[in-house]
Structures are given as structure tokens and as C-alpha cells.
Amino acid sequence: MLKSALKATILFALIAVTAYLAFYYAPIEKSMGVIQKIFYLHISCAFSAFVAFGTCFYANLRYVFTRAPKSDWLAVSAAEVGLAFISVVLITGPIWAHPVWGIWWTWDARLTLTFVLGLLYVSYLLLRSMIEEPDKRALFSALFGIFAFLDVPLVYFSIRWWRTQHPQPVILGGPGSGLEPRMRVSYLLMWGALTGLLILLLSARYKLEALRASVDDLRREAEVR
């Protein structure tokens, strides 16, 4: 309890420092101006979201082959945490896009993929809530999760090919390419901090799921008696 509180405090401090760095240490981007600051949070959250969904896929596969409830707990935790991160991405994206491109939303491959990915994992969680029996819930949601994850590259490429034939706003200076050194430091720190946040959230959610499962077991046993 104390340990996790300590971890959370350290992480909070780290995020505060990186936020400070992003705003005051890193220079203001020439063409986009101050709005570019959102990039640090946006990209890092997107990264965390994809790592979370990757973890979910791994846990789904593992569940199907081992049937260990732990894999199921990891899968649901990863899906929920991934959805939290992807929500941040979907909120910060338009905030960034509007001043820069002049529009809130564009059906660009990455944006659309993020959106569809979000939808797929909302369906995943909905499906879980619709199956009562724990083993069945774990198995069938895992199988859906596997199919959903396989769809990710297909969605990405279909939208990319589709969009190349239609006019679309140019994304200014692809991030990552030739970042200014102070920007790079701020970005890497933010990335590290949010990866830390991902791990913290994931482990907290995992523990909650483990507790939930044992409560569920106890309740079922009590009902039989």
C-alpha cells in the first residue's frame, strides 16, 4: 500500500517535471507555435495505448493456450488502460489539429486507425460484460481480442491506400524526424514518464481484477451453500 503510494508520488513528480520541461525548456516550434507542446503528451499516450493493446493481444493468446485466469486479468486490465490512453490521444489530436490544419478531424490513416482501434476495444469490453460465466467470458473475449488485433494492420493499410487517392491536409514535419535536441530530451522524458504511468495503471488494475475474481469466487460459493 505504502509502496504503491510511493511509486505513484515519484511518477507524479516525474510527470510534473517533464511537463515543466516540455513547456519551458523545449523551444517553441517555428511553424506551429505553442500548440505543438501538445505533441509530447499526444505521441507518448499513443505509444502507451499501442503497448497496452499489444499486451492485451499477448495476454489473449496466452489465455487461449494456457487457460490461466491471470492471463485474462492482464488482458482486461490492458484493454481498459489502453482505452484510457487512446481517449487522451483522441482528445488531444483534434486540439492539436484545429489550429494547425484548420480542421478538428481528418480521416488520416493514423487518426482513423486510432479511432477504429478504440471502437474495437470498446466492443471487447462490452462483450466481456455480456458473458456471465468467468471461463467462457475469458475464452470468448480472448478469441475476439485476437481477431481484433489482427485487424489493426489491415485497417491501417486500407485507410492509407484509400486516403492517398483523395486530397488531405499535409501533416507538418513528421514528428521524430530531426527533432531539436531540447525537444528530444523533453519528448523522451515524457515518453518515459507515461510508460511508467502505463505500468503503474496496469499493475493497479491487474490487482483489482485479481481481487474481483476472488470476491466473485467467494460469492458463488456462498450462493451454493
Partner 1 sequence: MTTPGFFPTGIRFENIDKRYGGLYALRRVSLEVRAGECVAFAGRNGSGKTTLLRIAARLVRTSAGTVKFVASASETADSGARIGFVAHATMVYDELTAEENLLLFAKLQGIAGHAARAATLLEEVGLSERRGSLVRTFSRGMRQRVAIARALLNEPSVLLLDEPATGLDPEGITWLANTLRRMRDAGRTILMSLHGESEISALATRAVRLDAGAVVADTQAGASLHSIVTFAGA
Partner 2 sequence: MALLADATTLLGKELRTEFRSRELLTTTVVFILVVVVLFSFTFDPSTSESRRFGPGLLWLSFLFAASLMLQPCFLREQNNDTLSALRLSVRDPFSIFLAKLSANTLFLLLTEVLMLPIFAILYNVHILSVFPQLVLVLFLGSLGVAIPGTAFSAISAQARMRELMLPLLLLPLLTPVLIASTEATGALLEVNPALRADWLGFLLGFDLVFLTALWLFGEYLLEE
Q: Which does 126 bind (CB under 5 to 8 A by kind): partner 2, partner 1, none?
A: partner 2
Smallest distance, Å, CB 76 to partner 1?
A: 15
Does residue 161 belong to the site contacting partner 2 (CB under 8 A)?
A: yes
The Cα–Cα gap between 82 and 77 comes to 8
Q: Are 7 and 157 in contact (CB under 8 A)?
A: no
Place of cell 514518464: 193
Q: Is the distance from CB of 183 to CB of 27 less than 8 angstroms? A: yes
Residues 1-60 within binding reach of partner 2 (CB under 8 A): none
Instruction: Tell me the window of 73-81, 149-157, 173-181, 200-208 that interacts with partner 2 (CB under 8 A).
Output: 149-157
How far apart are the C-alpha atoms of 95 and 13, rounded to whole Å? 25
Measured torsion, CA atoms of residues 141, 147, 152, 153, in degrees rounded to the nearest 10: 160
Q: Assign residue 28 a region (left: φ > 0; alpha: ψ between -120 and 50; beta: otherwise).
A: beta
Query: Taking the complex as a whole, how short is the minimal distance between the CB of residue 141 and partner 1, in angstroms?
Result: 15
Closest contact distance (angstroms) between CB of 42 and partner 2 is 23
Closest CB to partner 1 among residues 88, 131: 131
Half-sphere exposure of 133 (CA within 13 A, CB side): 4
- The answer to whether 109 contacts partner 2 (rule: CB under 8 A) is no
Among residues 1, 2, 170, 224, which is the contact residue for partner 1, using CB under 8 A? Answer: 224
**Interface region with partner 2, contact rule CB under 8 A, candidates 88-96, 141-149, 175-183, 215-223:** 141-149
Q: What is the rounded CA–CA span in Å between residue 18 and residue 12?
A: 10
Which residue number, 53 or 206, has a Cβ lying nearer to partner 2?
A: 53
Nearest to 124 by CA among 106, 105, 143: 143
| Contact footprint for partner 1 (CB under 8 A) | 67, 133-135, 213-214, 216-218, 220-221, 224
| Contact footprint for partner 2 (CB under 8 A) | 64, 116, 119-120, 123, 126-127, 130-132, 136, 139-140, 143-144, 146-148, 150-151, 154-155, 157-159, 161-162, 165
